[in-house]
């Protein structure tokens, strides 16, 4: 890796006439995520209707099941990262996670109305997602030159979001064609999820090739090195990224609360609640790649902070008199927030992590951010219950503004490259 005089990653000189392309491994992983998200979102779109209306579960029972397993996902990421770093088995661990999620659709199909079977299937889905996330992101970060990581993650997240948009449409098409047969949705979702696993096996390389002069070399991949003895939390640069992301995550109140505020302020029909996430996802899809490219050019730290400024803007719009155009503004700002922060954070932290411990380090970062956001959402919900929605939103906006000021001091300008052990 090329380093500037200050010891930070610097873009190596590009040979004349050579244009960098998105690494093939990133495109393959993006395709796998696209297909898998179609499968996942087909189930997510119909699951509340199936459990509450079809099987008669109360909203409290459904909320307990969903919330418990979503919280467990954050902790399972640590296990996935650790397993991937042992011997460099990123593809193998990620594949196990994708396969477990695919099999969970089959579990829903076989569970019938048994609550225990449904709970086991939901647990398998969340465990699969938690196990695969860090190894997948580590593969992306190791598949191309460090100076273009923002674009690589942007391309992957754009493809991933495409699948998230197509999933509910596919579920609607299946329900329409089968006269509301939920079993058909689960069967099609299982088939699509299995296709994603096969694509991973066939097209994603087991280990990324070496990076030379900013280009992905075609030579054989080096033998995996053992995990580093030094824990990632002892690295001061990585700790600063972790602390800043957790601080900002704790002031992120959650998308569902923003959508509920829009519905309540405008007295919109509840059916529109399911359509609001599609607006934010569409903006995210359009901006993920440009935001990644811009982060590579102007600095990922700056892009990450600007993304949270967009979230603060969404809070501000909801604090002003809410009109119909407010919906468009909030959804656009929310999409900008995700485009400028989701993949950009991984691209910001990855260069500070050694190759042999990258999956574990990214898992720590993702888990810290997820738990912080869980606390932030719970805190906002409690504040809404005790104080009312506007005082709670004022408190969230002020907390985010303070967190932005602190994060701008904590975040490093550019993580220094770790010294690899030969």
pLDDT digits (tens, 9 = 90+) for 274-283: 678 888 999 9
Average pLDDT for residues 361-383, to the nearest whole number?
89
Residue 217's pLDDT band, with cuts at 50, 70 and 90, is very low
Burial 73-87 (b: 16+ CB within 10 A, else e): bbebbbbbbbbbbee
* Nearest Cα residue to 156 out of 27, 52, 23: 27
Spatial contact of 300 and 150, defined as CB atoms under 8 Å apart = yes
CA max distance for the chain? 66
Residue 59's pLDDT band, with cuts at 50, 70 and 90, is low
Residue 150's pLDDT band, with cuts at 50, 70 and 90, is very high
Residue 219 is predicted with a pLDDT of 42
Please, how many CA atoms are within 13 Å of residue 196, restricted to the half-sphere of its CB? 31
Spatial contact of 272 and 263, defined as CB atoms under 8 Å apart = yes
Q: pTM to 2 decimals?
A: 0.82
> 216 — phi, psi (to 5°)?
-80, 120
Residue 223's pLDDT band, with cuts at 50, 70 and 90, is very low
The full DSSP string for 197-218 is HHHHHHHS-SSPPPEETTEE--
Residue 68 is predicted with a pLDDT of 59
Residue owning tokens 């500037």: 4
Q: H or E segment at 31?
A: helix 24-48
For the chain, the 3-state helix, strand and coil shares in percent, each to the nearest 5, are 75, 0, 20
Residue 208's pLDDT band, with cuts at 50, 70 and 90, is low
Cα–Cα distance measured from residue 410 to residue 422, given in angstroms and rounded to the nearest whole number: 31
Residue 224 is predicted with a pLDDT of 47
Beta-carbon contacts of residue 357 (< 8 Å; ≥ 6 apart): 85, 227, 228, 232
Cα–Cα distance measured from residue 27 to residue 194, given in angstroms and rounded to the nearest whole number: 18
């Amino acid at each position: 890796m090329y380093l500037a005089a200050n010891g930070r990653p610097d873009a190596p000189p590009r040979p004349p006439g050579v244009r960098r392309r998105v690494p093939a491994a990133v495109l393959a992983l993006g395709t796998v995520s696209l297909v898998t998200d179609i499968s996942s979102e087909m189930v997510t779109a119909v699951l509340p209707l199936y459990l509450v209306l079809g099987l008669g579960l109360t909203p409290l029972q459904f909320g307990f099941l969903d919330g418990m397993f979503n919280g467990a996902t954050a902790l399972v990421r640590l296990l996935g990262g650790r397993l991937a770093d042992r011997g460099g088995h990123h593809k193998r661990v990620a594949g196990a996670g994708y396969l477990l999620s695919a099999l969970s659709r089959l579990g829903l199909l076989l569970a019938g109305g048994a609550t225990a079977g449904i709970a086991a299937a939901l647990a398998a889905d969340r465990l699969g997602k938690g196990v695969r996330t860090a190894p997948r992101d580590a593969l992306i970060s190791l598949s191309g030159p460090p100076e273009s990581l923002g674009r690589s993650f942007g391309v992957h997240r754009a493809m991933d979001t495409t699948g998230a948009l197509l999933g509910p449409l596919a579920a609607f098409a299946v329900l329409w064609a089968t006269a509301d047969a939920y079993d058909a949705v689960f069967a099609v979702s299982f088939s699509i999820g299995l296709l994603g696993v096969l694509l991973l096996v066939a097209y994603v390389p087991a280990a990324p090739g070496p990076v030379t002069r900013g280009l992905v070399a075609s030579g054989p991949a080096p033998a995996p090195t053992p995990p580093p003895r030094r824990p990632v939390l002892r690295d001061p640069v990585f700790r600063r990224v972790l602390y800043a992301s957790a601080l900002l995550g704790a002031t992120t109140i959650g998308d569902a609360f923003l959508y509920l505020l829009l519905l309540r302020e405008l007295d919109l029909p509840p059916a529109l609640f399911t359509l609001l996430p599609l607006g934010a996802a569409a903006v995210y899809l359009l901006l993920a790649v440009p935001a990644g490219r811009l982060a590579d050019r102007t600095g990922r730290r700056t892009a990450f902070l600007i993304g949270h400024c967009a979230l603060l803007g969404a809070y501000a719009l909801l604090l002003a008199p809410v009109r119909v155009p407010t919906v468009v503004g909030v959804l656009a700002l929310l999409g900008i927030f995700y485009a400028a922060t989701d993949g950009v954070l991984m691209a910001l932290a990855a260069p500070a992590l050694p190759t042999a411990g990258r999956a574990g380090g990214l898992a720590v970062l993702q888990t810290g951010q997820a738990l912080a956001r869980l606390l932030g959402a719970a805190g906002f919900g409690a504040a809404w219950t005790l104080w009312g929605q506007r005082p709670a939103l004022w408190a969230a906006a002020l907390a985010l503004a303070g967190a932005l000021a602190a994060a701008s001091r904590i975040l490093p300008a550019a993580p220094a490259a770790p010294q690899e052990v030969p």
